[in-house]
Structures are given as structure tokens and as C-alpha cells.
Homo-oligomer: A and B are copies of this chain.
Amino acid sequence: MNRSASIKDVANHASVAVGTVSNVLNYPDRVSQRTKDRVLKAIDELGFVRNDAARQLRAGHSRTIGLIVLDVGNPFFTAVVRAAEDAAALHGSAVLLGDSGHDAAREANYIDLFQEQRVQGLLISPVGDVTERLDLLRERGVPTVLVDRLADEAKFSSVAVDDDAGGYLAARHLLDTGRRRLAFVGGPTSIRQVADRLQGARRAVKEDADATLEVLESEGQTVLAGRSVGNSLVERGREGLPDGIFCANDLLALGVMQSLTMTHTFRIPEDVALIGYDDIDFAVSAVVPLSSIRQPTEALGRTAIQLLAEEVESRNPTHRSVVFTPELVVRQSTKAN
């Protein structure tokens, strides 16, 4: 069997018209039970599978939406992807996933590919700035929603998480559990996420007159970078040590934790409380389970799809931006003394 069966083959085999087969597939109520049975039997016998290309051609658009993420390996995006897939399934569409890997050229490739596929719309976490190509897409009327990046509402809808609020939440929690000499670990501050989280932390500390915040800039956002910051803290000795540390992400926090616990000079949370950001899977299984700030990834993904659906349905292009507030997850590393 070389060429797969078409609707015409099914029609012949069941001795009906092609339109009838189509009706069985799309409007079963219009067809009598008898013919429906015959047609379904023929479909089964021939192993007929709808040709989506032909269907799309006629319909003028596909039933898929494009999703371009910066890095499928990042648990944050993985979760968004999953939520988006599930939400899209409810709308009867499927998600085409592209991974730009922070590479503008790959991103451009995917944008072009998805445009040729006539996707219903596009969800994208853009590499760097909103590019020309993306603007062009918008002008051509392809509904587009930016993910994890705030956008000019005149141009795009977008969903993002409020990092300032997350920073505030983390610092507020440390303060509320009695800590007074806080430290922020993260860097470089040129990264928007890091800067916003720090700003939120500053805001919380200002509210308590007797509290202080020290900034320890790290070289990157890895476990190793965290460990190196931790080591410098250990060298300082007991008197200079902050009693509450907020790390810009969980990897940093795990590194700091390794340094502090290895020496056995400091106990977490008795001597120092420690909180991270992102609530990655490893947070719960750290030596001391790590408190963290959780981003509502499922809601983000779901909302992205919903905004996209709104754009697709409404003819006139009004855009919306939705900002989510992250959530505090308390574990042992910040238990009150």
C-alpha cells in the first residue's frame, strides 16, 4: 500500500459521495445511522487518516499554535510548555514547539517556519529585544503573545511574573521570621530578573527601620557561583555574618548552603536563614529543604493560551498584559528560631 487512502477512496468503497464522508467526519448528526456505519467501516478497512494539509488549505489556517521558548531544558519553560499544551488541547489545537536556545538565528528560523505553517498564533519568549521580524509578523496580523516578558500593550499581549513582588516576598518573609541583617546574593545585576528581585527586597527592608540589606554580587547563577559566595561568608566568621540570605535563584542558594553546612560552623536555619527563587525540584531534596519563591508556571502557560485565543477571536487588535504574583514556599531553611 503505497499512497494512503483519500476521502474519495473511502467514498467509493462505501458507495457514497465524498461530501457524505466529510459529513460523517465533521457533522455526524447530518448523516443517517446506516450510512454512517457503512462509511466508518470503510474508513477502518482502508486505514484512512485525514490529510491535514488538504483540510488546512481549504480552511485557510491550521489548528496548531507555535510556541518558541528560550530553552526547553529550563524547568520553568518546561512547565510552561506543558501547561500550554494542555490548555491548547482543550481548545482543540496542538502546539508546535520550537527551542531557540537563546539564539536569534534559530528563533528567526522558527518564526518563518511557523508562518509557512499558517499557525493560528504564536507564543514566544523572545531572544533579547522584540525584533523586526516579530513586528512584521504582528503587522501581517498573526496573533502573538509574549511570554515571560512585558510588552508595550499597544503592540502585543503578554504574560509575565512580577519579580519585584517575588523579591519583596522573600525579604519580607526573612524579616517576619525575625531576621535583621539580610544579604542578597545574585548577579550580574544587568539581568532584568536579578535587578527586579533585588529591588523588591530593598523595598521590604526599607519598611523595617532596624533592618539592613547587603548585596553580594555573584558571578553568574550557578551552584558553583553560590558556593564561592558562601565560602567568602564563611571566612568572615561568625560576627560579620548576615542572619538571613536571599539568593536570586535556587542554584545559588544550594551553593551557599553547601559552603555553610560543609564547615559545620553555621547551622541553617538557626544561625542563618536561606531562601532561593524558582522552587526547582532540587529545592525540596536539599540537605536542608530550601524555602523558595515559586512562579505560577501553569497559570502562566494557561493564560498565555487564553490571551492568544482572545486575539485570534477578536478582530480588532486590543492587547492585554497579565502579570502574575509569585508565591512563597516555606521549608526548613527559613524556620523561625
- Which residues of A are at the interface with B, using a C-beta cutoff of 8 A? 1-4, 47, 49-54, 56-57, 60, 62, 72-73, 75, 78-79, 81-82, 85, 89, 94, 96-97, 99, 101, 109, 112-113, 115-118, 136, 140-141, 222-224, 227, 254-255, 258, 261-262, 264, 282, 285, 287
Q: A1 contacts which of B116, B141, B222 (Cβ < 8 Å)?
A: B141
Most B C-beta atoms less than 10 A away, residue of A57, A81, A264: A57
A-B interface, 5 closest residue pairs, ranked by CB to CB distance from nearest = A223-B285, A53-B56, A52-B116, A73-B78, A53-B57
Name A255's closest neighbour in chain B (CB-CB). Answer: B285
- CB of A49 within 8 A of CB of B116, answer yes
How close is A1's CB to chain B, nearest CB, in angstroms? 7
CB distance from A314 to the nearest CB of B (A): 14
Pairwise interchain contact B285-A140, C-beta atoms closer than 8 A: no
Nearest B residue (CB) for A85: B99
User: Roughly how many angstroms separate A255 CA and B72 CA in the complex, as a whole number?
Assistant: 26
**Bound-state Cα–Cα, A3 to B60, Å:** 9
Contact across chains for B52 and A117 when beta carbons are under 8 A apart: yes
Bound together, the chains give a CA A255 to CA B266 distance in angstroms of: 21
- Give chain B residues whose Cβ lies under 8 Å from the Cβ of A51: 57, 116, 118
CB distance from A121 to the nearest CB of B (A): 14
Q: Within the assembled complex, what's the spacing in Å between the Cα atoms of A262 and B1? A: 64
The count of identical subunits is 2
Q: Could you pull out 12 A-B pairs where Cβ atoms are within 8 angstroms?
A: A4-B140, A4-B141, A47-B136, A49-B112, A51-B57, A51-B116, A53-B62, A54-B57, A72-B82, A81-B99, A82-B99, A258-B287
Do residues A140 and B99 form an inter-chain contact, with CB atoms below 8 A?
no
On chain B, the residues within 8 Å of A227 by CB distance are 285
On chain B, the residues within 8 Å of A140 by CB distance are 1, 4, 47, 49
Contacts of A60 in B (CB 8 A): 3
Residues on B with beta carbons closer than 8 Å to the beta carbon of A73? 75, 78-79
Can you name 16 extra interface pairs (CB under 8 A) apart from A53-B53, A72-B78?
Answer: A1-B140, A1-B141, A4-B140, A49-B116, A49-B140, A50-B116, A52-B116, A57-B57, A73-B79, A82-B99, A94-B113, A96-B96, A96-B97, A97-B97, A227-B285, A262-B287
- Find out whether the CB atom of B49 lies under 8 angstroms from the CB atom of A115: yes
Report which of B53, B89, B141 forms a contact with A2, defined as CB distance below 8 A.
B141
Min CB–CB distance A261 → chain B (angstroms): 7
